[in-house]
Structure formats: C-alpha cells, structure tokens
Amino acid sequence: MNLHPFLPLTMEEARQRGWNEIDIVCVTGDAYVDHPSFGIAITARLLESLGFRVAMVCQPQRDEDFLTFGAPKLGFFVTSGNIDSMVNNYTAARRKRTTDVYSPAGKAGMRPDRAVIVYCNKIRELLPQSVIVIGGLEASLRRFAHYDYWDDAVRPSILVDSKADLLIYGMGEHQTEEIARGLAAGKTPAQLREIRGICYLAELWETLPDAVSCASFAKVSADKTAYAKAFQLQLEQQDSVYGKAIQQKHGDKLLVQTPPAIPLNQQELDKVFEIPFRRTYHPVYESQGGIPAISEVEFSIMHNRGCFGDCNFCSITFHQGRHVTCRSHESILREAKSFLDNPHFKGYIHDVGGPTANFRLPSCKKQLTAGLCKNRKCLAPKPCPNLQVDHSDYVELLRKLRAIPGIKRVFIRSGIRYDYLMEEKDPTFFQELVRYHVSGQLKVAPEHCSNHVLNAMGKPHIETYERFAKRFYDVTKQAGKEQYLVPYLISSHPGSTLADAIELAVFLKKNKIHPEQVQDFYPTPGTPSTCMFYTGLDPATLKPVFVPRTPEEKHLQRVLLQYYKPENRSEVIRALIKGHREDLIGTEKHCLVPPDREYLQRKNRQRAERKPLGGKTNRRSAVPGRSAAGQQKAPTKSTAKGRSGGHGTQKNHKTGR
C-alpha cells in the first residue's frame, strides 16, 4: 500500500487534496508526528481511513491558528498531546522544564498549562457552535473530580472546565469511530451518550438506573476519606467485562461515565497498525530542528496494549486498562520489513515492547469471560496461583524478527516484568533475552527495597529482584557477555520514610548500584499512589499511609539514592543525622559517606562540651542543649563514672541529639 501524504496543516495543503471543507480538525499540544506511538496520529489516520476529511492544528499559539480551516463540518477532536501538559511542563519539584521532546528542536513553552482546557475554551470563544470532543491522557485521567498536584487542591472533571461536549477515556478507537459516524449521520452529542468509553455532563435528573454513584465534587474536595472511597469505586469499575456506568455530581450538573469500551481484539489492533503512517514528523519541522521524540520510536515496534502489572503509581490501569491485547506475528513482521525501505534505518530495531514488553497473554483464562479480579493484583505482592506464564510466543516472534535479512539486532528497551519472568519454568526466553536482546544494559524497575514501601507501590518484594539479578548475571557470564542491569527507583513514594530511604541507600551500596537517574515520586491524576499522597490513606483499605510531603523530606530521600556523588555528601550527612544513622558516616566499608569538615567540627564541639570521665564539669554546658541555670548539680566522681556507659551524654553523642 502506498503511503498517504501527511494530513494537511494548512488550507493550501487541504486544497491540494481537493478539499474545500474539513470534516474534523484534530488539535494537539504536540508537533505533528505521523507515527502510531502518538495517540492523535492514530485518531486522525483512523478517521481518514473511514473516509473523513481530517486536518491537523498542532501547538496553536494564536487565534488564527484555531481558525486555519474555519469551522469544521463535524467538529474538533482535542488533546494535550502524548503527555499531560502539566507533567510535560513541570518537574516533580514544580519547576518549569527547559525542554520538550514533542516540540521542534526540543523547545519548551510550545503548549500552555492545562492545554485541553485552554484549547477548548478558545474554540468555544471563536466558534461557539462547533462540537468539541476531548481525549488522550490528560482528558482521560482527569475525567472525574481529581487531586491536582500543581494546585494542591481537588479540581472538577476536565469536562467542566473545558466545556467540551464529549470526553473519550481510555484507548479510543471504538469511541472515535462511533462518534464520527454519529455526527456524520446528523446526531447531536446528546444523542451519542450510549457509546461505551465516554463521559458527558448531564442534568441532575438524567440519572442512569444501573449506574453507581460516587461522592460529589463538593464532598471529595472537603473530605479526604470520601475522596479515597470515590477513587476506589472509580478504579473498580474500569473493567470492560463488569464495569458499570459511574455518576458524580458537579454542582448543578451530573458527570456520567459510561461503561468501559470493549478492548480491540487482535484483528482490530492489527488493522490500526496497518494504517500507512509516515512514521516521522511533518517536513515543515525539518528546518526547525526536527522533533526529538521520534528518535526513540521511529524504529520501535509496539506488539501489545494494556498491562495487568497494575503498579499503583502508573496511570495505565486507569487509561489503557489491565486487559492485554497483542498484535499478530504477521502484522509485526510486516512493520519490521517496512523499516528496510527507510534510508535512515541501520538494521537495528530499538524495541519490541509496549506497556510491559513480555506480556503476550491475558493474565489468566478467566479474565476473558469474568474480567480481572477486583482489589487483587496479578503479580504483587506475590504472583496469583492462576497466573498463566508462557514466553514461547514472544520467543518465536523475536526469532522471526532476527531472521529477517537486513535486521542486525533486535533490542528490548521497554520494561520487562522480571517477577513474571521469574515464574517461567522454561529458561529459553531468559537465555535468549540475555544473548540477543540486551544492548549492554537492561532496564528493570524494582523501585525500592523496603517491602512495606513496595506494598504501597503494588510491586513485588525485593527478594524477587535479588533472585532475578543473580540469575541475570549468571546467564550473562555463561553467555560470555558484559552486560548490566539498570534499575529504576522512586524516591519519596507514599509509605517511604527517611529510614526507608536510608535502607534503600544501604541496599544500593551493598549491591554496588549507582543510579544515574532517580525519579522523585510525581503525583499525577488517576493513580492510587496520588490518592495516597493527597489523602494519606490507602484507597483499597482506608488505612493510614505515611506521606513525605515537604520539599526537605523529598530532597533528603532523593539525595540518599545518589549518596556516592561528592556534591551530595553534606546533604547525605544531614539526612543520616536526622535519621539517627550516624553509624553510616565514616570511612569504614559499611559507611555511605565519609565525614566532611563541618561534621568533624561539630563532633569536636560535642566532645568538648561533654564532661570528661571523672574530671571537672565543662562550664559551658555539661548537658548539650541545657543552660547552666537549668543544669542539675554536678554528679560526684562515682556517679559520673556510673553514667558514662551510654544513657546520658554518650547517647547524645551517638545520635547527634
């Protein structure tokens, strides 16, 4: 099939196709990259394949940008881009980012904060009669009343602030087709409310008889327990087999979420990837420095969708869902062979993965008919006895890819679930992973070492990672290779105290792990971990969870994970003093950092202030922190000798208190 030209960015490009009118305008906060890893590219190309005239408005800055194609016949489909605009624009420390890989030359500042709201409000101002449909990650994860980290408050559903007509949540191919066909048939948005996988605002009297209700926006804004309960109810209804419609009152309106859309089957998913994407950015960006995001995905293959790993800090459960769908071998092989015609292709497939690379099966056989279990995880803290583990299909796929003439190497760079892999009895995949598919470093995600923190994360306990790491290095040695594990770690996750961060630093030192990058926990909408961060409660149990909130707490936990960096030494010492672990300050093998000058001077002052054994009391202060007037009578020689064993001044010396 011949590749279509890029979708038009200007009316001139539209006329070159013979179009004088546009059916649907897609508005996005990303630059235009025609690749299936960009959600708006899938949406736009799918609409085009259905016969609609589709145009693109990318990173609009001025009123004229929104009016490029005038009022579209059917309406606007709006997204912030591949990432929530606030996450894209700010770090976990709420600092402005200096780059944006989805913009020309990586330039920051090309999309506004809360892009979906800004774009929709501008369309409403300029073209008030147009239909607006929102979707993508930002809209999907903010569909209910949600805690917003940047406001540090609960915000209403994004439908309220955006004034959009309909919201598509989750993976939206089915919804996109049904909405577009309905609008083309002359239906209004209000007449499309039976479509699964959408949200809309209704009048309070328009309740659905079989829907479940969660606490209102007003209630969850004022009551954190109500927020946690509402979030858990929303999470429990995200299964396409048994999920029900959900209602949430927002003032004088009723937010309605219809039941989740049925996931694409293999044939439907194959069809999406058979769309002739150009697999690169629009030529207009060439002179502007290109779009950096393409470098990681241009020659990568997504073979699956969905993830039953269900980590608490990950938004996939609330967006893609836990149901895994895989493409056929034939579809994937056709995509790989298409790389050979690209002059930029050097023979290396960068990734054959997805949300989790080594999932090619549903979690268990009953999932297909009964759905995934409520309030239970397939893998954590231990794998479910019903879990089906089989890598043979993935092994066969990778072998076929390696056998294509012109393919030099096939790598796996998206994360593998090592706990799932450790349940595999057949060693073939492990051996071939190490031998053929690791480019020197394999990225895995233990995230922490403290088991109660891992419980809060929804991750397996650290013993599983330790068994995996030992086996990885054993198999690597047997293969005669020099390869390494690169562990992803999260600092300051709910449940993690300073003592836990110190425990993790000790674990890293013991295992000779020097993480170059550490992710401070980032509370993003739609995850159980963010619910814990806001409420201090585990939404599944309503039990209290410790939450590191202050900038100092978060900073100290973060620097501990990079204790080995000289520039972090003074801060690591401060953390160890605060955590009462001065035994880890020193030059002995078990210590994390050597003392610095300030620490030594402090210890010398403490020794000088301490009463010498059997000697005279130092006049400045016999007891640290107590004034001379408040001191007890100086002890006799015999009682002083009896106290020197560790209850008084020795204890203060050891802990720094």
SS3 (DSSP) at 652? helix
The pLDDT of residue 52 is 97
Residue 175 included in any domain: yes
Is the bond into 381 cis (omega within 30 degrees of 0)? yes
**Helix axis angle, 392-402 relative to 428-436, nearest 10°?**
30
Q: What are the distances in angstroms from CA 517 to CA 9, 384, 559? A: 38, 32, 11
At 535, which CATH number? Answer: 3.30.750.200
Domain end position, chosen among 381, 405, 438: 438
* C-alpha–C-alpha distance, residues 386 and 613, integer Å: 66
In a domain, residue 68? The reply is yes
Residues of the chain with pLDDT > 90, as a percent, come to 88
Tell me the sheet residues that pair with 444: 487
Helix (H) or strand (E) holding 453: helix 451-457
Q: How far is CA 329 from CA 274, 313, 351, 543, in A?
A: 13, 31, 15, 45
Q: Which pLDDT score is estimated for 627?
A: 39
**436-452 pLDDT per residue, tens:** 999 999 999 999 999 99
- Structure token pair of residue 81: 């881009």
Asked if 116 and 81 count as a contact pair (C-beta separation under 8 A), the reply is no
Residues 449 and 491 in one domain: yes
Q: Are residues 157 and 51 in the same domain?
A: yes
For tokens 């231990």, name the residue. 382
DSSP classification of residue 381: S
Residues 434 and 451 both lie in one domain: no
CATH number of 29's domain: 3.40.50.2300
Strand partners, 351: 300
- The answer to whether residue 250 is domain-embedded is no
Cα–Cα distance for residue pair 8/182, rounded to 1 Å:
24
Whether 31 is covered by a domain: the verdict is: yes
- Check whether 631 has a pLDDT greater than 70: no
Q: For 147-167, what is the mean pLDDT?
A: 98
The angle at the Cα of 627, spanning 623 to 633, to the nearest 5 degrees, equals 65
Number of domains in the chain: 4
Tens-digit pLDDT profile for residues 345-366 = 999 999 999 999 999 999 998 8
303 with 327, same domain: the answer is yes
Structural contact between residues 447 and 376, judged by C-beta atoms closer than 8 angstroms: no
Rounded to 10 degrees, what is the CA torsion of 609, 614, 617, 623?
Answer: 50
The mean of the pLDDT values for the chain is: 92
Unique residue bearing structure tokens 């990681």: 296
Q: Cβ neighbours of residue 119 under 8 Å, at least 6 residues apart? A: 27, 29, 60, 66, 78, 80
Sign of the four-CA dihedral 117, 48, 102, 328: positive
Question: 465 with 386, same domain?
Answer: no
- What is the pLDDT at residue 543? 97
Reply yes or no on whether the pLDDT at 43 is more than 80.
yes
Residue 481: pLDDT over 70:
yes
Which of these three, 422, 438, 454, is where a domain ends? Answer: 438
Residue 593 — φ and ψ, nearest 5°? -140, 150
Could you give the residue ranges of the DSSP H alpha helices within 458-568?
Answer: 462-478, 498-510, 528-535, 551-560
Q: Provide the pLDDT for residue 4.
A: 60
Residue pair 324/358 in contact by the 8 Å Cβ criterion: no
Q: Which helix (H) or strand (E) holds 517?
A: none
Q: What is the pTM of this model?
A: 0.90
Q: What is the pLDDT of residues 264-287, one digit of tens each?
A: 999 999 999 999 999 999 999 999
Same domain, 155 and 15: yes
As a whole number, mean pLDDT of residues 318-327 equals 94
Residue given tokens 């479509």 in the structure block? 195
Same domain assignment for residues 28 and 88: yes
Q: How many CB atoms lie within 10 A of CB 462?
A: 19
**Of all residues in the chain, what percent carry a pLDDT higher than 70?**
92
Does some domain include residue 287? no
What type of residue is 331? S
Identity at 495, one-letter amino acid code: G
User: Do 557 and 569 have their domain in common?
Assistant: yes
Q: Confidence band (pLDDT; 50, 70, 90) for 649?
A: very low
Domain end point (choices 391, 408, 438): 438
The first and second tokens of residue 440, run together, are 């020197």
The helix/strand/coil state of 216 is coil
Which tokens belong to 430?
Answer: 């492990």
- Do residues 1 and 277 make contact, with C-beta atoms less than 8 angstroms apart? no
Per-residue three-class SS string for 141-185: HCCCCEEECCCCEEECCHHHHHCCCEEECCCCHHHHHHHHHHHHC
Whether the pLDDT of residue 254 is over 70: the answer is yes
Structural contact between residues 102 and 293, judged by C-beta atoms closer than 8 angstroms: yes
pLDDT of the residue at 620: 42
Same domain, 26 and 149: yes
Question: Considering the domain boundaries, does residue 270 fall inside one?
Answer: no
Whether 34 maps to a domain, the answer reads yes
pLDDT at 603: 87
Clarify whether residues 452 and 411 are in a common domain. Answer: no
Of the pLDDT bands very low, low, confident and very high (cuts 50, 70, 90), residue 607 is confident
**Averaged over 475-480, what is the pLDDT?**
96
Q: Are residues 309 and 187 in the same domain?
A: no
Of 379, 389, 404, 388, nearest to 301 by C-alpha is: 404
Per DSSP bridges, beta strands 198-203 and 166-168 are antiparallel
| Residue 627 structure tokens | 């004034």
Residue 629 one-letter amino acid? A
Which residues touch 475 (CB under 8 Å, ≥6 apart)? 430, 431, 434
Burial class (CB in 10 A: 0-12, 13-18, 19+), 282: buried
pLDDT above 90 (res 592): yes
| Residue 496, pLDDT above cutoff 50 | yes
Residues 31 and 174 in one domain: yes
Residues listed for the chain? 657
pLDDT for position 611: 59
Residue 133, domain extent: 11-198
Closest by alpha carbon to 443, among 322, 353, 320, 569? 353
Compute the distance between CA of residue 162 and CA of residue 140 in angstroms, rounded to an integer: 13
Is residue 640 over pLDDT 60? no
| CATH code (residue 377) | 3.30.750.210
Residue 207 lies in a domain: no
